Structure 1
Amino acid sequence: MTTKARVLYDFIAELGNNELSIQEGETLSVINQNVGGGWVEAENSRGQRGLVPEDYIQINPGSTASSAAPSGDAHNANYYCPVVNQGFNGNEAWAANSNENWDSSQQKALPSQGSFDDEEWDDDSDDGKSTGAYSWSQSEEGGGTMQKGTAHHAMKISLNKVFSKTPNPEVYLLTKYVPKENDRLPIYTGDVGPVWLYPQSQLDCAVADPKKGSKLYGLKSYIEYQIIPNSTNRAVNHRYKHFDWLYERLVEKFGCTIPIPCLPDKQVTGRFEDEFIKMRMERLQGWMSRLCRHPVVANSEVFQLFLTYRDEKDWKVGKRKAEKDETVGVMIFSTIDPEIRELDPTEVEQKCESFSRFTKSMDDRVKELLSVGHLHWKRCTGPLQKEYQQIGKAFQNLSSVFNTSGYQGEATLTEALTSTGKTYEEIAEMIAGQPKKDLHFLMETNSEYKGLLGCFPDIIGVHKAAIEKVKEADRLVAMSKLGTQDKHTMEKNLSTMSYALQAEMNHFHSNRIYDYNRVMQLYLQEQVQFYETIAGMLKQALNQYTTM
């Protein structure tokens, strides 16, 4: 049975992944909600079918519930992804489908994010297979546990998709907290303004040597990667689900001040094909390299655990400690110690608005470049390649006709025409293969920045909410409902938040300049070589014709 869904966000399909491009406001027919991995199969009004991210669409509230909803759930759930975000007020801690209204008893039954150990939860077999549905139950301590069931067809929940609301900054604004030396995140005045403290030696790591493994007597298969940091030169092994865990921990801890780029999405089919494994490894390498370049993330305890754990026991102990971290969400600002003058709230608001305008404009332009790039790639591997093949074939067909004339003086011409036709066929193949040599890297860089820029609305939303709270404090002081000392604490903490945002924006701009310089040089170098090669081939073809 198909159900109708409205598209919430634009999504551009990647070539070869059986995906479907969709546009905001479009209406789709959802054919299969049980694909798994955060995807559904849908059909657009033109009859085109493919996979779309389930969090990019909103299924009609009157539609039949997904069979993947947890057993015992009375709601018509379109998707189900509980997310804990420190700093929410009360029951706002859980974010779910906008069509669902969770009551308090149901919320208590949901497990906190990251509360499962490897033995308790093995959600991704990495081969797209699953052996049963999962249901939620409440333990005696009030926490949730995940249990295997068989009543429903299973759908794996994509933990890479975070449904969040703006955390309440008031939790931090009224906090008088002196960070411990080990937790302290200093901010200094650099040549460009407030900056994080950068290490003397740059952390980096290599993602390499993907190997297929299995467990449960071969019922579950997965790909494991070696991660080799330059700080130890000692390899550690991680599966995709471990990257997923790290992503969730980083978002939970730093998501209010640092954009954490999304992981490359899980693949529904073809997980063990060589080309896909190579592509995923390349994207995981880019993801890890970007995090290694961030001075705060790279030096964090959870990230260092991921890179340098000694054995299985060390990994599990470190995981539990990271999952109990209290300085997460808006409370991360309590560890920030700017050694700079306190800012006026008006100045804070001006800088926040400036960053908001820039990130929104850049996001629009990055999406435009991605759209144009995808269209060009399709033309190179489709119509453009075919046009050059047709030109080459036409030259050779004309040469074949000339050969039938019987005229003795035209052998050189017919041979030259045939050679020219073959040259154009060779050019057609070059055109089809060229995007992988140059456009690929430009598109990958822009995809990374699309992910980064997609984090800023939430980050800036936290800062705007804090600005409004400080404005409200002025009114409360005038009404004698808030003391002047508390108001000053709020303004001081708002200033700290602003310096964190400025330091992060300066880090972002520095990386942006470096990344786009590098990728544009590579793109243009490959383009120059491409056209020089074509020019050389055409000159060679030209020289075969005699001058009359």
Structure 2
Amino acid sequence: MASSSESAKEPVKEGFTHLISLIRFPGFAKPGVEQYLLSKQLAKPKEKIPIIIGDYGPMWVYPTSTFDCVVADPKKGSKMYGLKSYIEYQLTCTNTNRAVNHRYKHFDWLYERLLIKFGSAIPIPSLPDKQVTGRFEEEFIKMRMERLQAWMTRMCRHPVVSESEVFQQFLSFRDEKEWKTGKRKAEKDEVVGVMVFSTMEPEAPDLDLLEIEQKCDTVGKFTKAMDDGVKELLTVGHEHWKRCTGPLPKEYQKIGKALQGLAVVFHSSGYQGESDLHEAITEAGKTYEEIASLVAEQPKQDLHFLMETNHEYKGFLGCFPDIIGAHKGAIEKVKESDKLVATSKITPQDKQNMLKRVSTMSYALQAEMNHFHSNRIYDYNSVMRLYLEQQAQFYETIAQKLRQALSRFPMM
């Protein structure tokens, strides 16, 4: 049944989320905003998403117990008498230890459902890209599983997404029938797009429009600046990776070979006091060849993780223009409300409802940004520690090898 296959490469292309949002996701279009702001009576959905005021401002309510989902054991499967092949992954929740299997197309289905339901309030980064050729190669399967793991961990860490019915059903169905029933139910969910804000209940007084607009602008400026910074680091990191696995090791190899060549020449002199110097220079040359191998392998030990973290955040940050767009659209509608009241298109009460609802949207945006910042600080602190620890160890190893080579040359 559900098994994950065919995907995983680079993060989302920026137009993809936008395309889904406009074609399949009415929440980002202005009529969706109007539907939420001007609805006479918001339905009372069963699900409620409280927003509380914490030490750093509005925040989601975090569950008392958290869980992760381990993505493992990729297996090749087939159907239609072997005409179609796919990779199936096993997903095991740490809180239940129950395993379910999913193909990539099921992950893709989950991504679309989460985007459609929460995408106007919460950044839902896209899955690893689907690859048509070479998708059964071991290295590709490993990379995709690593990125699917990161994506699932990220969803499990989100207090709203992780508790949602569609996400829980994806992880806990017991059989094919239960999977299909839950799938149909999720696809019929009407509380999607900006209507998801109707489920949110801030435990705080309504904000005025000026503050709402300022908060929105602050988020927009920060996420744009961070997006630029992340892309710059990805570009520089990619160039550095190429240099470390290409030209740089070759330079060390050339030095090593040149030193060993010189040692051979010295050895040919026939001079009896030559042997110690010949051996020392030969070993120094071999040391540089060893350094070449270390340099070529090092990016896998440290730069890889820094790049993957930035890659992941690039996916998050690519979601914010649509989120900010929905909020700005709502703010503009509230600004027009005086004219609409004057022309009797809406009532004064409608105007008050609009302001209250855009205030709810603002609290949701602030709660999401507090979650984002908390994760950002933890993630970048962790990955920078790992990167610098590995870099320090790398250079210490090189220094040790050079000192060992140096010890063969006596003071004269």
Name the TM-score class by shorter chain: over 0.9
* Partner Cα separation in structure 2 for residue 54 and residue 504 of structure 1: 23
Question: Helix, strand or coil for the counterpart of 2:306?
Answer: helix
* Partner Cα separation in structure 1 for residue 61 and residue 258 of structure 2: 64
* Partner Cα separation in structure 2 for residue 450 and residue 546 of structure 1: 53
Deviation at 1:168, TM superposition (A): 3.4
Partner of residue 42, structure 2: 177
Deviation at 1:314, TM superposition (A): 0.3
**Letter matched to residue 348 of structure 1:** I
Partner of residue 526, structure 1: 390
Higher relative contact order (CA 8 A, sep 6+): 2
Question: Helix, strand or coil for the counterpart of 1:405?
Answer: coil
Question: Helix, strand or coil for the counterpart of 1:297?
Answer: coil
Partner of residue 153, structure 1: none
Deviation at 1:411, TM superposition (A): 0.7
Q: Conserved in 2, the CA contact under 8 Å of 1:363 and 1:454?
A: yes
* Partner Cα separation in structure 2 for residue 369 and residue 468 of structure 1: 35
Hey, which bits of structure 1, 4+ residues long, moved more than 6 A?
Answer: 36-39, 51-57, 79-82
* Partner Cα separation in structure 2 for residue 167 and residue 536 of structure 1: 66
**Letter matched to residue 24 of structure 2:** V
Partner of residue 323, structure 1: 187
* Partner Cα separation in structure 2 for residue 263 and residue 375 of structure 1: 24
Deviation at 1:167, TM superposition (A): 6.0
Partner of residue 341, structure 1: 205
Matched, 1:535 2:387: no
Deviation at 1:179, TM superposition (A): 3.1
* Partner Cα separation in structure 1 for residue 408 and residue 31 of structure 2: 72
* Partner Cα separation in structure 2 for residue 213 and residue 356 of structure 1: 44
Question: Equivalent of 1:85, from 4, 25, 35?
Answer: 25
Q: CA RMSD in A?
A: 2.3
Q: Conserved in 2, the CA contact under 8 Å of 1:204 and 1:230?
A: yes
* Partner Cα separation in structure 2 for residue 276 and residue 358 of structure 1: 34
Question: Equivalent of 1:472, from 333, 336, 347?
Answer: 336
How many residue pairs get aligned? The number is 404
Higher helix share: 2
Question: Helix, strand or coil for the counterpart of 2:161?
Answer: helix
TM-score where L is the length of structure 1: 0.71
**Letter matched to residue 246 of structure 1:** L
Q: Conserved in 1, the CA contact under 8 Å of 2:11 and 2:129?
A: no
Question: Equivalent of 2:276, from 406, 412, 432?
Answer: 412
* Partner Cα separation in structure 1 for residue 320 and residue 195 of structure 2: 18
Question: Helix, strand or coil for the counterpart of 1:221?
Answer: strand
Partner of residue 298, structure 2: 434
Deviations 1:306-338 (A, max 9, x none): 110010000000000000000000110111111
Q: 1:507 to 1:287 in 2, by over 3 A?
A: same
Question: Helix, strand or coil for the counterpart of 1:306?
Answer: helix
* Partner Cα separation in structure 2 for residue 172 and residue 334 of structure 1: 8
* Partner Cα separation in structure 2 for residue 502 and residue 80 of structure 1: 24
**Letter matched to residue 185 of structure 1:** I
Question: Helix, strand or coil for the counterpart of 2:336?
Answer: helix
**Letter matched to residue 276 of structure 1:** F
Partner of residue 449, structure 1: 313
**Letter matched to residue 179 of structure 1:** K
Matches within 5 A, 1:464-503: 464-503=328-367
Partner of residue 276, structure 1: 140
Matched, 1:546 2:410: yes
Higher strand share: 1
* Partner Cα separation in structure 1 for residue 358 and residue 344 of structure 2: 21
Question: Equivalent of 2:71, from 190, 199, 207?
Answer: 207
Partner of residue 310, structure 1: 174
Deviation at 1:344, TM superposition (A): 0.4
Deviation at 1:54, TM superposition (A): 8.6
Deviation at 1:481, TM superposition (A): 3.2
Q: Conserved in 2, the CA contact under 8 Å of 1:85 and 1:167?
A: no
* Partner Cα separation in structure 1 for residue 13 and residue 43 of structure 2: 43
Q: 1:52 to 1:313 in 2, by over 3 A?
A: closer
Deviation at 1:231, TM superposition (A): 2.3
Deviation at 1:401, TM superposition (A): 0.8
Question: Equivalent of 1:362, from 215, 226, 238?
Answer: 226
* Partner Cα separation in structure 2 for residue 382 and residue 219 of structure 1: 40
* Partner Cα separation in structure 1 for residue 54 and residue 12 of structure 2: 41
Question: Helix, strand or coil for the counterpart of 1:522?
Answer: helix
Question: Equivalent of 1:393, from 257, 261, 281?
Answer: 257
**Letter matched to residue 231 of structure 2:** K
Deviation at 1:84, TM superposition (A): 1.6
Q: 1:38 to 1:84 in 2, by over 3 A?
A: farther
Q: Conserved in 2, the CA contact under 8 Å of 1:169 and 1:465?
A: yes
Deviation at 1:478, TM superposition (A): 3.1
Partner of residue 141, structure 1: none
Partner of residue 458, structure 1: 322
Runs (5+) with no aligned partner, structure 2: 1-5
Partner of residue 81, structure 2: 217
Matched, 1:380 2:244: yes
Q: Conserved in 2, the CA contact under 8 Å of 1:189 and 1:340?
A: yes
Deviations 1:418-437 (A, max 9, x none): 10111001100110100001
Deviation at 1:80, TM superposition (A): 11
Deviations 1:95-118 (A, max 9, x none): xxxxxxxxxxxxxxxxxxxxxxxx
Partner of residue 371, structure 2: 507
Deviation at 1:53, TM superposition (A): 8.8
Deviation at 1:269, TM superposition (A): 2.0
Question: Helix, strand or coil for the counterpart of 2:62?
Answer: coil
Question: 306-315 vs 267-276, which deviates more?
Answer: 267-276
**Letter matched to residue 74 of structure 2:** P
Question: Helix, strand or coil for the counterpart of 2:58?
Answer: strand
Deviation at 1:386, TM superposition (A): 0.7
